[in-house]
Amino acid sequence: MIPQNIKDILANGENVGFYQTLSMIFFLIFFLGIVIWVFSRSKKHYDEEANAPLDDDIDDKNL
């Protein structure tokens, strides 16, 4: 269990609202970056990845 003094520091410290806002902004930037990266990939890339388990590769026969 967390000692009471750490809870007080996190709940009543100065600039807590600023740190919460800053962390939310960083999270949103990261999340939007991932979303943009996913949607910027071509459909062909995802079709190739989706069909990868079904492809007959020579490398699979060596297992």
Residue 10 has what pLDDT? 67
How far apart (Å, rounded) are the C-alpha atoms in residues 28 and 33? 8
Q: For residue 38, is it within any domain?
A: yes
**How many structural domains are present in the chain?**
1
Assess if residue 27 is contained within a domain: yes
- CA–CA separation, 22 and 52 (whole Å): 40
- Higher pLDDT among residues 54 and 30, named by residue: 30
* pLDDT score recorded for residue 32: 98
Within-domain flag for 6: no
Provide the residue range defining the domain that includes 27. 20-53
pLDDT in tens, 14-41: 777 888 899 999 999 999 999 999 999 8
Domain-located, residue 15: no
Tell me the pLDDT tens digit for each residue of 40-51: 988 888 888 887
